[in-house]
A and B are shown apart, each in its own frame.
Chain A
Amino acid sequence: MLLLTLILASFNLYGDVVMAESLYKEKRYDKAMEIYLHSIDQNIRDPFIFYNLGNCYFKTNKIGKSVLYYKRAKRLLPGDSDINFNLDFARSQRIDVLNISETPKFFNYIINLPDRFPLNVLNIISSILFFLIFILLSLSLFYKNKVLKNVNIGVIILFICFLLLFSVNLKNKNVKEGVLISVVEAVRSGPREDYALLFTLHEGAEFRILEEDDGWSKIILQTGLTGWLKKEFLEKV
């Protein structure tokens, strides 16, 4: 019964998605956006809906929101090339350019590796390897075999690697990231208006949220710059 309602809901959503598509094609981005936002209100967390919504925001010149939704889409589906392309494109349209130090490509690849897989996939692979370890261990109780032993060592090493990927991914997922959605905003040295202005950020700037205090968030930029920003101007990824 539950499954049936889920399937029905999915079909209903499919109709919405098709409608939003045709609106998008007619360049009525505002209307398409409404439909996508409505489906998100219904607890839909689909990477493609986030991605399409990001496109709508981009087309209506809301760079901040488009970066936000591309990031949300990327969290759910890290390996999609369209999502990554559009996220980079939206980033390139921002006013602030974060001067990220150039890291070698290979090193970058290794660093980003955990985020390339969806969390649940890593979780399932780790689980399968865990089961495999015990099956092989059990077998080796009764059959003394060198090959079996070596295979088991390999599986254990693989399992440790995946567990590492999984935990790094989980850690990255739980990092509170934020995107600035207002056009330009002041970052202050403390959580009140009367604190000194440290710097200004423009729409679409990305940062991590370190702590929150009564309507203000302490943020840190990739460059290491920190400050306090009013909560209403940012949105958490």
Chain B
Amino acid sequence: MNLTELKHKIIPVILSIAVLYFLLPFYLLAQNINFSASCDRTVVTLGESITLTVTVSGDVAKVPQPVLPELKDFNVYSSGRNQSFSFINGKVSSSINYTYTMIPVKPGKFAISPIKLQYKGSTLQTDTIFVEVVKTDQQSQVQPGVPQKQRAIVPSLQEEKDIFATVSVSKRKTYVGEQIIFILRFYQGIQLLSAPQYTPPDFSGFWTEKIREDQAYRNIEGRQYLVYEIKYALFPIASGEYTIPATSFSCQIEDFFSRPFSFGGKRKVVQTNPVSITVVLIPKQDVPKSFTGGVGSFNITSKVDKYTINQNEPVILYVEVCGTGNFKGIEDPIINITGDIKIYEPNSWIKSEDNVNEFRGSKTFEIMLIPETVGEFIIPPVEFSYFDPSVQKYITKSTDPITIKVNPAKSPDKPQQGILIREEIQTTGKDIRFIKTNFFPKIEKPPLYNNIAYLLFHLLPVICFFILLRIKTYKERLSKDIGYARARSAPSKLKKGLRRCEQLKDSPKEFYSQLFKSITNYIGDKFNIPTPGLTKDRIIESLRARGADDSVIKILLYLLERCELIQFGMSSFSIEDMVQDLDKAKEALRYLLKK
């Protein structure tokens, strides 16, 4: 064992002990803890390393270091520990990973016996882990599934074997779309001042997926190296000859002797070889109809989000292609659904699995279907064909058919009668307006049109109007029609005349003259005859013409004659006669007035 090797073994151990010593006081209140162990691989080539991770987690505070069992068949180095804290519901929980690097010393099958942890008087222990160590030349038999991947190109011979870089590809001749594993390795046999730096090579002509990046110890030609490994999956896009240019790693090495007072060290650059890859087209004959560009090894499954739906509601069909290959190159699957179903453009996404040796994952297509008729409809098997380069053949796989039941829409009269169903209540964050505040409630008022008084009130203007109309027509007649005016004024004039007669009882002559005037005036006014030319005969004539009673005519005739006689002093009279005559006149005229 030379000095450098010893340094490599001792320094991490001392360092980890120191770190543990300083961090231990943090674990104060321990309660429930989980304790487990795992290895990054269980099959390992002699000379490669295994990383053993021991995890202690829980609401731990003070946790003792786990005790590793005695492992005779491995060289064990502690390669550090890391810790994470989390606060959940006010509780602190932490998880500590102890990482150990184990390098097998001989081939064979080994068991890592349980790792023990003393905690609060009880002993926790992990499961036994089985590890198989194979010789380098046995590797292909052990891992038949990936036969060519580890066929490394012979490391480019460097003058100094302290640091060097290699590149390996799983295949140099591939089909378009076939997965190639491209591995960059940086071997470090001495202590470096800084981690190596590199820029990824130019992968033009390929779809590239970085699979993983890790580091491990390896034994090459009896010398211990720390190996950085960067793995890419490459998928050629088109046929042709491609060269992936050399990749440079740069690092700083200790160069104490040439530059003793410099802390930077000496920059050193190592290069890989360029790699050329020949890409050929996949066979053109016997291409299945359902081939959508997949190259690799896949499986297909399908499912729907619900099996019973209502008419015009969507159902989502998920078609998942999983396996290994060029997911990016897989186009949408062909779905042959017939009938009254609306099919929408598929939506797709790719998921990849972590920590695998090749690019592995799944591509999911989400297809929305809306059946437009009631009943059952069947989603027929979805066919998917791909080219499998390992057997150099097209392979077709298909899903199971799915039956979906379509119920009629919720409202049976909907399509014909125009009542729509809202699928769900709109939740737009809107709300009704707030209540009315600060008002005096009103007591119910009956409608006005039911109020009789109110309705009768409307008669008032009508009545007023007709009264006014009457007044107006009367006035108009008075001003225009003399006969009417005379007839209207006759009774009042007569009354006035007769009243004067009564006052003139002392002078009989005047009395009779007044009586005569009153009677003639009245009849003249009444029948619109000019008074001056009114004779006895004309009066009687006009009275007769208007159908007056004979007895009345006689009385009037007698009265008029008597008036004439007395006026001219041709007849005797007494006071009684005067009163009698006046009464007679009144009576006769009252009769005429009525008429």
A interface with B by C-beta (< 8 Å): 6, 9-10, 13-14, 17-18, 21, 24, 39, 43-46, 48-49, 51-52, 55, 58-59, 82, 85-86, 89-90, 92-93, 95-99, 119-120, 123-124, 127, 130-131, 133-135, 137-138, 141-142, 170, 198-200, 223, 225
Contact = CB atoms under 8 A, between A and B. Distances in A.
A58 B432 contact: yes
Interface string B424-438: 011000111111111
Given A198-B413, A199-B417, A123 B439 contact: no
B425 A141 contact: no
B449 A14 contact: no
Contacts of A223: 417-419
B462 A134 contact: yes
Contacts of A131: 458, 461
B415 to A, nearest CB: 11
A97 B469 CA distance: 60
A17 B447 CA distance: 25
A132 B385 CA distance: 93
Given A120-B448, A199-B411, A99 B420 contact: yes
Contacts of A86: 432-433
A165 to B, nearest CB: 13
Interface residues on B, range: 35 or more
Contacts of A133: 461
B156 to A, nearest CB: 76
14 contacts: A6-B443, A24-B435, A44-B441, A51-B435, A59-B432, A89-B432, A93-B425, A98-B419, A99-B419, A124-B448, A130-B461, A131-B458, A199-B417, A223-B419
Given A85-B433, A198-B413, A199-B411, A44 B443 contact: yes
Given A13-B441, A39-B441, A199-B413, A55 B461 contact: no
Nearest to A82: B433
A13 B412 CA distance: 47
Contact of A120 (B431, B441, B447): B447
Contact of A199 (B412, B425, B432, B461): B412
Given A6-B443, A44-B444, A120-B448, A138 B468 contact: yes
A44 B442 contact: yes
A8 to B, nearest CB: 11
Interface in B382-417: 411-413, 417
B440 interface: yes
Given A90-B432, A93-B426, A134-B461, 13 more contacts: A6-B443, A24-B435, A45-B445, A46-B441, A55-B434, A96-B420, A98-B419, A99-B420, A142-B472, A198-B413, A199-B419, A200-B411, A225-B417
A49 B468 CA distance: 49
Contacts of B432: 55, 58-59, 85-86, 89-90
A98 B413 CA distance: 12
B443 A95 contact: no
A136 to B, nearest CB: 10
B422 interface: yes
A135 B461 contact: yes
B38 to A, nearest CB: 54
B413 A48 contact: no
A130 B460 CA distance: 11
B88 interface: no
A58 B441 CA distance: 21
A170 B447 CA distance: 10
